[in-house]
Amino acid sequence: MAEECREGVSRHDELYESQSPQCQYCPGDSDDELTWISGQVDTGPQSSNGTKGPCRVIVHFDMDCFYAQVEMIRNPALRTVPLGVQQKYIIVTCNYVARELGVRKMMLVTDAMEKCPQLVLVSGEDLSPYREISYRVTGLLEMFFPLVERLGLDENFVDITELVESRLKQQMKLSDISINGHIYNQQPLDVTVQNHCRLAMGSHIAAEIRAAIHSQLGLTGCAGIASNKLLAKLVSGTFKPNQQTTLLPESTVPLLASLRGLHTLPGIGYRTACRLETLGLQSVEDLQRFPLANLEKELGATVARRVHSLSLGIDPSSVTPRGPPQSLSNEDSFRKVSTEAEVRQKVEELIIILLDRMYKDGRTPRTFRLTIRRFPRPVNKWFSRESRQCPVPGFLGQKICSGVDDAVGPLVKLAMKLFHRMVDTSLPFRLTLLSVCFTNLQSSCTKGSIQAFFVHESPGKQKDTPSQGVLLGSTGSSRRSAGGTPQLEPLDSSSECERATSAPPFGVDPSVFQELPADIQRELLSSIPGQSGSVTPSAPEPGVVTALRIPSFERLLQPSSVELHPGREWDADSCGEIGSPACDVPPNVDPQVFTELPLDLQKELLSEWKHETSPLKTQPPARRGRTLVSRGSKSATTSGSQTNNLLKYFKPS
DNA sequence: GCGCGATAG
DNA sequence: TCTTCTATCGCGC
């Protein structure tokens, strides 16, 4: 996000230069007053005549306590206990059971154990399982949308403007439009306002996104729907966990006013907040009121304009797909490493792991970097890392990308050279961190597919680069649900993608099946009886939706001793929006689809599910279906958004 | 290209 | 107190 904002600023600056003084992003100097501010706050794009034009529709999706969720998927028994994910002596995140008992993110393990002696700890120092699941989430989103941007491991922005527009064109009666989930500030929806309709439609698509991620990957999260990335991110956390909130433009002012402290604005970090404080600015509103010209004197034009815009809810940055990472690094922290031999040992361990990741990535690194942190930290320096980097010799690059393990020795040598450029080993030293990093990654290797990053274990399957392809959601009637509800449909894959011609497995929409890449089709087919024999589901029970297998997902998640449950339990803790259908439907029922059913049918289904549910509300009947599938090591199945339009399975006949 | 700083989760 | 283990981008040289 921060990077995006910076990137956005350059575009922003162009706007300043080319369109002043009428540019919407150029307030110009002002003698302030609140009325002026509310006039400047981004309540939607304005055309030159001052009327509101159509806004973009951006979704920010933020997974609930991501590391903890991944651990709970790997070991379902952890769902009901207070769980903390530990890195060294820090609880980096914890589940909601633990939160209710007073555990917080980034708490010291000792403090957490004091607060909650029954806290169960798992180590989260190896990020690979989280990284893998994280890229699966992004990959899933990219199947439906061309514009997906990752932010860290657990957040994604999706620009859904085009899909909103195509659905609105199909919408017969705009007066029927409603909002799915919460509306920020409980602002009434006005269907005569174009941008309200766009955002309302966006809220339904966001619900489908959340449902797809839940049904395919078993993960819950929050979504924010707004007209730019900044506002979508700010609003997404309003209701947690597993809920979504839409910001209508008129509520931008109260949203910004609700922020406590300048650092709560994404893009304003600790340092900038400190500098702003020296100007006497403490709140977002202080920053809004502060004359831009004065701000520029203190921060420079670039930073000043960016943060001033942010304070007004203006964020011109676009949702920018990043593709595979631009660097791969591996680091470890410790209390004390003070001999060269220890350094060499640590560096070798780090390199071995990093080489494995580099090999799986498939690209060739051209630059190698070693980073250290010394103790005590240098005075006057808060953040004390030092690094040295050097080119990776060609022969070594070849070894690395071909996977031969004799790259380790030369790399350790290289690392020690860099180490000696930083540390004089004739003097005492003490390090508390070592990090190795490959950057300048070139996709030159014959093995070559950088896209394989998303699907390590099946290098034959290459992910298409996100294209501006047609969204299938607006095409065929055969791909609409029985209720006429628009459902997410995958983006068309590239034409070079071969297609299998077999009939789909039972329960899978044939038209959807035909759209899948051939390898996925094969995997689907291999997961049904009589094909590869790896799974044994018979025809799905009523209420059960047969699912797509996510390649290698199960193997990834498979813990050594615990059965896999691809989906979350259906319990009060993991459930979302109180009073909304999402909270009341079983996990294999798409809440979006459910809400589109006639009200009487909804009631009937709810009543049926309720009767079949234990008093503890943990075992809805439909969950039996989940246990049908995927017990072997090669057979994960999850219900898919492609298939969850099978309304006929909702209700036993 | 290099090393660092700022920002983010 | 700025923790852990990453990752990105911009600046000045």
Tens-place pLDDT, residues A47-72: 444 445 899 999 999 999 999 999 99
Q: How far is CA A592 from the centre of its chain?
A: 20
The token pair that represents A505 in the structure block? 């497995």
User: What CA–CA distance (Å, rounded) separates A175 from A361?
Assistant: 50
Q: How far is the CA of A353 from the C1' of C6 (A)?
A: 14
**Could you say which DSSP state residue A618 is in?**
-
Cβ partners under 8 Å of residue A17, min gap 6: none
Q: How far is the CA of A268 from the C1' of B4 (A)?
A: 19
Burial class (CB in 10 A: 0-12, 13-18, 19+), A189: middle
Q: What is the mean pLDDT of residues A484-513?
A: 45
Determine if strand C comes within 7 Å of the CB of A302: yes
Q: What confidence tier does A29 reach under pLDDT thresholds 50, 70, 90?
A: very low
User: What CA–CA distance (Å, rounded) separates A280 from A288?
Assistant: 13
Pairwise pLDDT comparison (A503 vs A434), residue with the higher score: A434
Q: What share of chain A is helix, strand, coil (3-state, %, to 5)?
A: 40, 15, 45
Determine if strand C comes within 7 Å of the CB of A104: no
C3: residue with closest CA to C1': A90
pLDDT of residue A379: 72
Tens-place pLDDT, residues A451-468: 444 433 333 333 333 333
B5: residue with closest CA to C1': A383
Best mean pLDDT range from A15-19, A362-366, A528-532, A582-586? A362-366
Q: List CB-based contacts (under 7 A) with strand B.
A: A 1-3, 151-155, 233, 263, 265-273, 366-367, 369, 381-383, 385-391, 421, 440
Best mean pLDDT range from A403-407, A478-482, A540-544? A403-407
Say whether the peptide bond before residue A537 is cis (omega within 30 degrees of 0): no
Query: Quick check: A213 and A181 in contact, CB under 8 A?
Result: no
pLDDT of residue A520: 44
Mean pLDDT score of chain A, rounded to an integer?
Answer: 71
Of A332, A350, A338, the residue nearest A411 (C-alpha) = A350
Active site includes A155? yes
Nucleotide nearest A86, from its CA to each C1': C4
Tens-place pLDDT, residues A598-641: 454 444 445 444 443 332 222 222 222 222 222 222 222 222 22
Tens-place pLDDT, residues A82-121: 999 999 999 999 999 999 999 999 999 999 999 999 999 9
Say whether the peptide bond before residue A376 is cis (omega within 30 degrees of 0): yes
The DSSP string of A97-132 is: HHHHTT--TTEEHHHHHHH-TT-EEEE----HHHHH
User: What CA–CA distance (Å, rounded) separates A389 from A437?
Assistant: 9
pLDDT of residue A37: 60
Determine if strand C comes within 7 Å of the CB of A88: yes
Which bases on strand B have an atom closer than 7 Å to a protein beta carbon? 1-9
Burial class (CB in 10 A: 0-12, 13-18, 19+), A621: middle
Query: Quick check: A86 and A98 in contact, CB under 8 A?
Result: no
**DSSP-based three-state secondary structure for A649:** helix
Strands A148-151 and A155-159 come out as antiparallel
User: Does A8 have pLDDT greater than 90?
Assistant: no
Cα-Cα-Cα-Cα torsion A497, A499, A505, A506, nearest 10 degrees, comes to: 100
C5: residue with closest CA to C1': A331
Query: Quick check: A566 and A215 in contact, CB under 8 A?
Result: no
Which bases on strand C have an atom closer than 7 Å to a protein beta carbon? 1-11
pLDDT of residue A94: 96
Predicted TM-score (pTM) of this structure: 0.70
Phi, psi at A370, each rounded to 5°: -115, 135
Q: How far is the CA of A434 from the C1' of B3 (A)?
A: 16
Q: What is the mean pLDDT of residues A349-366?
A: 94
Q: Give me the residues paired with residue A442 across strands.
A: A364
Task: Select which of A4, A71, A142, A155 is catalytic.
Answer: A155
User: What CA–CA distance (Å, rounded) separates A2 from A431?
Assistant: 29
pLDDT of residue A426: 95
Q: What is the mean pLDDT of residues A348-374?
A: 95
C2: residue with closest CA to C1': A382
Determine if strand C comes within 7 Å of the CB of A329: yes
Q: What confidence tier does A202 reach under pLDDT thresholds 50, 70, 90?
A: very high
Determine if strand C comes within 7 Å of the CB of A272: no
Sign of CA dihedral A293, A299, A305, A309: negative
Q: How far is the CA of A596 from the C1' of C9 (A)?
A: 44
Of A421, A440, A419, A431, the residue nearest A368 (C-alpha) = A440
- Position A511, amino acid: S
Query: Quick check: A524 and A504 in contact, CB under 8 A?
Result: yes
Q: How far is CA A345 from the centre of its chain?
A: 35
Determine if strand C comes within 7 Å of the CB of A333: yes
User: What CA–CA distance (Å, rounded) separates A539 from A652?
Assistant: 14
Q: What confidence tier does A405 reach under pLDDT thresholds 50, 70, 90?
A: confident
Determine if strand C comes within 7 Å of the CB of A271: no
pLDDT of residue A181: 98
Q: What confidence tier does A28 reach under pLDDT thresholds 50, 70, 90?
A: very low
Tens-place pLDDT, residues A240-291: 999 999 999 999 999 999 999 999 999 999 999 999 999 999 999 999 999 9
CA atoms within 13 A on the CB side of A184: 29
Query: Quick check: A242 and A227 in contact, CB under 8 A?
Result: no
How would you write A529-550 as a 3-class SS string?
CCCCCCCCCCCCCCCCCCEECC
Cβ partners under 8 Å of residue A558, min gap 6: A74, A564, A633
Tens-place pLDDT, residues A150-178: 999 999 999 999 999 999 999 889 899 99
The token pair that represents A195 in the structure block? 């941008």
Q: How far is the CA of A376 from the C1' of C4 (A)?
A: 18
Query: Quick check: A635 and A549 in contact, CB under 8 A?
Result: yes
pLDDT of residue A53: 82
- Please name the residue that has the structure tokens 């959340």: A210
